[in-house]
Structure 1
Amino acid sequence: MSEIHRITVDAEQCGGRPTLRNLRIRVKDVLDLLAAGASPAEILEDYPVLEMGDIQATLEYASRQSDHPVLRVA
């Protein structure tokens, strides 16, 4: 089941960057933690306001952002 509905964008919050449930926790922040090797359990422990669905939404959002065609110029 998709959790993408948890991603919110508000021009008045975090410079319009995607956040999780308007919590002022940016999608990028969670992605950076995951990329640095933090486990979902560690992230949830450090950010008790987050839920597992938020981490799933973050990964789903990142996956969708990277799925675009690459155009080559001859």
Structure 2
Amino acid sequence: MEPIDRITFDPAVMGGRACIRGMRVTVATILGLLAAGREREEILKSYPYLEDGDIDQCLAYAAWRVDERDVPLSMS
């Protein structure tokens, strides 16, 4: 898997949510648009400062997160 280097986290940008290259566009926004049936070309036209690789990395990041497992910490 290629490194996911376009997805950034900054508490000062969108409350620290996963964003694309430090911009105020969240991964969730792009994933939501894709889930709603929007085409890549339509998304890129609506957000002209994004690149095709940004969409690829949103999908890669989402796939990685879905594969992660949350393990509760024991408080004993």
Verify same fold: TM over 0.5.
Answer: yes
Cα deviation, 1:34-62, whole Å, max 9, x if unaligned, reads 00000111100110000000000000000
1:45-60 matches, within 5 Å, as 45-60=45-60
Question: Separation in 2 of the partners of 1:33 and 1:3?
Answer: 23
Unaligned runs of 5+ in 2: 72-76
Q: What TM-score, normalized to structure 1?
A: 0.87
Unaligned runs of 5+ in 1: none
Aligned partner of 2:44 in structure 1 is 44
Deviation at 1:2, TM superposition (A): 2.5
Q: Give the RMSD, CA atoms, in angstroms.
A: 1.8
Aligned partner of 1:33 in structure 2 is 33
Aligned partner of 1:10 in structure 2 is 10
Count, aligned residues: 71
Larger RCO (CA within 8 A; separation ≥ 6): 1
Q: What TM-score, normalized to structure 2?
A: 0.85
